A and B are shown apart, each in its own frame.
Chain A
Amino acid sequence: MTILEIIVTLPLLAALVIGLGAPARFTALGASVLVLIMSLVTALRFSPSIEGALQNVSSRPLMQMDGFPSLSLSFGLDGISLVMLLLSAIVMVAAVLVSPKESDLKHSPRLFYLSLLLIGGGAIGAFCSTDLFFLYAFHELALIPTFLMIGIFGTGKNRLRTAWTITIYLGVGSLVLLVGLILAVIGLGGSTFNIEELTALASDAPMAAEMQNWVFFLLLVGFGVLVSLFPFHSWAAPAYAEAPAPVAMLHAGVLKKFGLYGLIRVALPFAPAGAEVLLNLVLVLLLGNIIYIGLVTIAQKSLDRMLGYSSVMHMGYIFLGIAASNELGLSGAVLLMFAHGISIALLFAMSGWLREKYGTLEFNKLGGIGKQVPKLGLLFGFAAFASAGLPGFANFAAEVEVFIGAFAGAQDGLGWIQWATIISLWGVVISAVYMLRAYRAIFMGPIPEKLEAPADICWSMRLPLIILLVALTAVGFVPELLNQFIRPAITVLLAAAG
């Protein structure tokens, strides 16, 4: 077995062991820490000099039948999937750490930790799969426990309804995606599920233009639903508001990135002509994410919903990088996936803590708690500024790449994408408005009467926050830490897409 296969298997195996009776929190923590260590080792041993080729490759053929695409359980990493693996591993450790102790869970701690591992493990499996079938299957594997967690361990009164809404919503999205993927595989000859081979086929024997338009459209909608692309976003904010904090962290931080990953990994290289035709549609939709959802975010009156909407809004910038479809834009998009994943996990972890300690996240019931819990106030300030795109954090570096990438090639006059970029820059103001308003409402000003001070965050809470913050600042100061992996992979991807 390769180290990558162990990384993919370990969380699932740990979930199984927990199901069979092993101590839940201990096993989950052990497995996720091991996964993180092995991912870091993989990154250290990863050689960016092998220009963009897959590494840590393994393949186990499962099915070879005439007239049917060949299927194998195969894994491998290029720079993009490596970055996503690191993101998943970091957030998974943090999510397990902030999870309540077994004794604090009202029911079935086993199910709780088992589900966490399945979400994280499923996401890792999806990012590391080099086979289209398993890419899809692993994501579905991660999705189902998400629904369960919201329905069973969620916080709001409406949690069952919310759970069912997103089950069906994302279910329909996955279905559209499945149709798109099947169409793509058939369109590319129907001989294999292997993504690399399919990509090669797409550049050697591309699909007809009409077909490409359909494939890209279906993939855009299918993946788009999963990423909460406007107007398919309304599942996200209530789901994140009602999910337990670790699930919101894992879903908003990691699993949601699957849709974007899919667009970069599958949709762009398989149907480049379709992507070009539908570019303007993408631009309109991403402005919907940035400006329209941005305004909706400003109108929110409680922290959890505000964070939920803000995470929808920030997807727009990643779409902008994808729309730019050049080295800089796509690299920025991948880096932003990482940055956003870490920063939103950080914010959800802290909002979960606040909800538990103060019993509310509504702005008008909180105030001045920077005096009561100064350490949390400080960390929240960092996270809020990171999310608002402040230099020093990874988000800013990624956004700079996206913006400059979107402006490339405008020497002869501004095109649609440059205008879209200019409009979307206003989102930088919008995100500062809602983040600072929230910070002002919760942490600054006089403390309302009757608001009792809890003890400030203890080390078991500080540790995961610090891990996330260190990742965010390290990449913010030295984006090359990840760019060295991303750059060659994007070059290969673009070369393949012609």
Chain B
Amino acid sequence: MDVTTIAWTVLLLPLIVAVSILLGLKRWSGLASLVSTGSAFITLFLCIRLAGGGDDLEAASFSWINMGDALQIDIGLVLDDLSRGMMLIVTSIGFLVHLFSLAYMKDDAGKSRYFAGLSLFMFSMTGIVLADNFIMMFIFWELVGVSSYILIGHWFEKDSAADAAKKAFLTNRIGDFGFMIGILLVWTLTGSIYFNEIAAAVGGVENAKLLNIAVFCVFCGAIGKSAQLPLHVWLPDAMEGPTPVSALIHAATMVAAGVFMLARVTFLVESAEMAATVIAWIGAITALVAALMALQQNDIKRILAYSTLSQLGYMIMAQGVHHGSDAGMFHLYTHAFFKALLFLGSGAVIYACHHEQDIWKMGGLRKKMPITFITFAIGTAALIAVPFTSGFWSKEAILEAAHHEHLWGPYTLAIIVAFLTPFYMTRLVIVAFFGKNRSDNADHAKEVGPIMWVPLALLAFMAVFSAYDFLTGPLMANGHADIGHLIGHFGLTATLSLTGLVVGVSAAIYFYKGKDKDPISIPAFADRFYIDEIYEKLIAIFQDGASKVCDLLDRYFIDPIVARFPAMTAMTTGSILRIFQMGNVQTYAFMFSIAVVALIVFLIS
């Protein structure tokens, strides 16, 4: 197969699988799950072949909207280092999640629907990665929203899951509102929706103010998808979906889309200085605020969710830093593996503990589930940036980039986060895996089967080594572990982050070793700074309040004045009324119809 065929196959195969499950395969859920997993394997295999390198190319495209000179929108695929690398992340994590789900969702009543959703998710994400223009990216951007709606709301008979699905979609829509405006403004300024044409034209844009606004609006899309402040609220709630879905959404697909999109349009961000600064700040603030929230969570998946938010903050921050985009993508790449590992590990724990998610009701799992423990510990090490794990290198790259550009504000926040992350992750590991069993469920926990621990082991390997040359290869041309560089430039950043690691871990051990309940209580962190509650109030006041007012206005003002008044006048005077009062409307209607039809027939013949 030539490269073009491979690229189209990678894109369309998951769609074909999703549609065929929908149209018929759904009756045989076992078969449906195998077909879906098989297709994920095939796309992974094809993406490995694509990753072998080759020139950048635009695969042949299909004309979607053709309006002559006014507008041409194609569905076209672009293959370059960025998309090849991203595809490898998406398909490899995607495949492992499929594999893990085979066991995790074995007895679920909606198994077919679940796997159709997974395939649709893979299709949508692939479309974002391979898109060669903004509108195509937006199309798949929206489809990712729908797939997440289907998967988060998988157990839709539960109120919490149904609400979480709705919340995720609507919060994303708010971001997309800005994204669409941004696309329209970019189109206005550069006259194109194609990335390569925009890149060529952006230098000639004279209206710098509007360009900054446009880039900020485009960034709004990333705020929604990558769950940055202030649109972060959907991500923790999205934990209501099955745990493998959390791994997929958090590690490889949905939230990565925002970072990827900014990396795709680096040329735009770099040309809009103000907007770039805003991006860096929002990323840094999100990293800090989410880390603070994570300190006081007790649900194992929620801790991981806030840590995802925090790490995404790092990646977004990097996109706003001059020359920082590659570092951000590098972190996205390493994070995808260790975060998928942590989520699937938490899935194994939850599965073994009979759907117990409170870490204070676990404890002592280290001995019950040794493989899960070891892999989880490796994932944690990567997340808290223990030297020589993959996470260490990529985080270092981001901090270095910010340092190099003298962005002291975001840099300071990011360093503080480097102290907090080791603290809350060590807390999680100590409470859940050490000490004594604190509930019957934890007492009865057993190690999970190989179909679940094999993906964990593979991911654990990647969590350590994914940063090194022999794995990043040509994909992450500008991001890989470089020990020589580190030793040569061992400076402020490395010193601070290593201090953060030591301080964070020791403090957590000091506070949490052997404890049965949380010795620290900071309600503001535990309650997520009350942001969700504030939003609910705001929605109740502005949206629902305004709706009620408009509804009343419509019923008691506009309708009576515009409609009823003339209607009443006409009714009292009209002779039509008399026909009606004679009662026989049907006869009247029938006679009328006959007359009209007869007239027309007469006229035509």
B181 in complex: contacting residue of A144, A231, A425, CB < 8 Å: A425
The answer to whether B63 and A231 have CB atoms under 8 Å apart is no
The answer to whether B65 and A111 have CB atoms under 8 Å apart is no
- Interface 1/0 per residue, A142-181 and B, CB below 8 Å: 0011001001100000000000110111011000000000
Chain B residues lying within 8 Å of A418, measured Cβ to Cβ, are 188
B176 in complex: contacting residue of A141, A235, A428, CB < 8 Å: A428
Query: In the docked arrangement, what's the CA distance between A445 and B598, Å?
Result: 54
Query: Is B544 among interface residues, defined by CB-CB distance under 8 A?
Result: yes
The answer to whether B586 and A328 have CB atoms under 8 Å apart is no
Query: Is B488 among interface residues, defined by CB-CB distance under 8 A?
Result: no
Nearest-Cβ distance from residue A451 to partner chain B, whole angstroms: 13
Chain B residues lying within 8 Å of A400, measured Cβ to Cβ, are 65, 73, 135
The answer to whether B67 and A487 have CB atoms under 8 Å apart is yes
Given known A9-B604, A296-B554, contact A404–B146 (CB-CB < 8 A): no
In the complex, which residue of chain B has the Cβ closest to the Cβ of A73?
B603
B590 in complex: contacting residue of A19, A141, A405, CB < 8 Å: A19
Query: Is A391 among interface residues, defined by CB-CB distance under 8 A?
Result: yes
The answer to whether A168 and B566 have CB atoms under 8 Å apart is yes
Interface size class of B (residues with CB under 8 A): 35 or more
- Interface 1/0 per residue, B157-171 and A, CB below 8 Å: 111001101100110
Which residues of chain A from 187 to 216 have a CB within 8 Å of any chain B CB? Answer: none
The answer to whether B571 and A168 have CB atoms under 8 Å apart is yes
Query: In the docked arrangement, what's the CA distance between A436 and B567, Å?
Result: 35
Which residues of chain B from 134 to 191 have a CB within 8 Å of any chain A CB? Answer: 135, 138-140, 142-143, 146, 149, 153, 156-159, 162-163, 165-166, 169-170, 173-174, 176-177, 180-181, 184, 187-189, 191
In the complex, which residue of chain B has the Cβ closest to the Cβ of A400?
B135
The answer to whether A429 and B177 have CB atoms under 8 Å apart is yes
Chain A residues lying within 8 Å of B174, measured Cβ to Cβ, are 429
Query: Is A13 among interface residues, defined by CB-CB distance under 8 A?
Result: yes
- Interface 1/0 per residue, A436-478 and B, CB below 8 Å: 1100100111110000000000000000000000000000001
B177 in complex: contacting residue of A141, A164, A426, CB < 8 Å: A426
Number of A-B pairs, beta carbon distance below 8 Å = 202
Nearest-Cβ distance from residue B431 to partner chain A, whole angstroms: 33
Query: Is A41 among interface residues, defined by CB-CB distance under 8 A?
Result: no
Chain B residues lying within 8 Å of A167, measured Cβ to Cβ, are 576
The answer to whether A403 and B598 have CB atoms under 8 Å apart is no
The answer to whether B597 and A13 have CB atoms under 8 Å apart is yes
The answer to whether A111 and B590 have CB atoms under 8 Å apart is yes
In the complex, which residue of chain B has the Cβ closest to the Cβ of A291?
B550
Chain A residues lying within 8 Å of B142, measured Cβ to Cβ, are 390-391, 396
Chain A residues lying within 8 Å of B64, measured Cβ to Cβ, are 397, 478-480
A433 in complex: contacting residue of B543, B559, B592, B603, CB < 8 Å: B543
Query: In the docked arrangement, what's the CA distance between A418 and B66, Å?
Result: 22
The answer to whether B601 and A9 have CB atoms under 8 Å apart is yes
- Interface 1/0 per residue, A1-40 and B, CB below 8 Å: 1000100010011011001000000000000000000000
Query: Is B522 among interface residues, defined by CB-CB distance under 8 A?
Result: no
30 A-B pairs with CB atoms under 8 Å apart are A111-B586, A111-B590, A115-B589, A145-B589, A145-B593, A148-B585, A152-B586, A164-B580, A231-B562, A234-B559, A234-B562, A295-B546, A295-B547, A299-B548, A299-B550, A327-B67, A370-B157, A385-B146, A391-B142, A391-B143, A392-B139, A397-B65, A405-B70, A429-B173, A432-B170, A440-B162, A440-B163, A444-B156, A445-B157, A446-B159
Interface positions of A (Cβ within 8 A of B): 1, 5, 9, 12-13, 15-16, 19, 60, 62, 73, 108, 111, 114-115, 118, 141, 144-145, 148, 151-152, 164-165, 167-169, 171-172, 231-232, 234-235, 292-293, 295-300, 326-328, 331, 368, 370-371, 378, 385, 390-392, 396-397, 400-401, 403-405, 407-408, 410-411, 413, 418, 421-422, 425-426, 428-429, 432-433, 436-437, 440, 443-447, 478-480, 483, 487
Interface positions of B (Cβ within 8 A of A): 22, 63-68, 70-71, 73, 135, 138-140, 142-143, 146, 149, 153, 156-159, 162-163, 165-166, 169-170, 173-174, 176-177, 180-181, 184, 187-189, 191, 207, 543-544, 546-548, 550-551, 554, 558-559, 562-564, 566-567, 570-571, 574, 576, 580, 585-586, 589-590, 592-594, 596-598, 600-601, 603-604
Which 6 residue pairs spanning A and B have beta carbons closest together? A299-B551, A444-B162, A299-B547, A234-B559, A391-B139, A298-B547
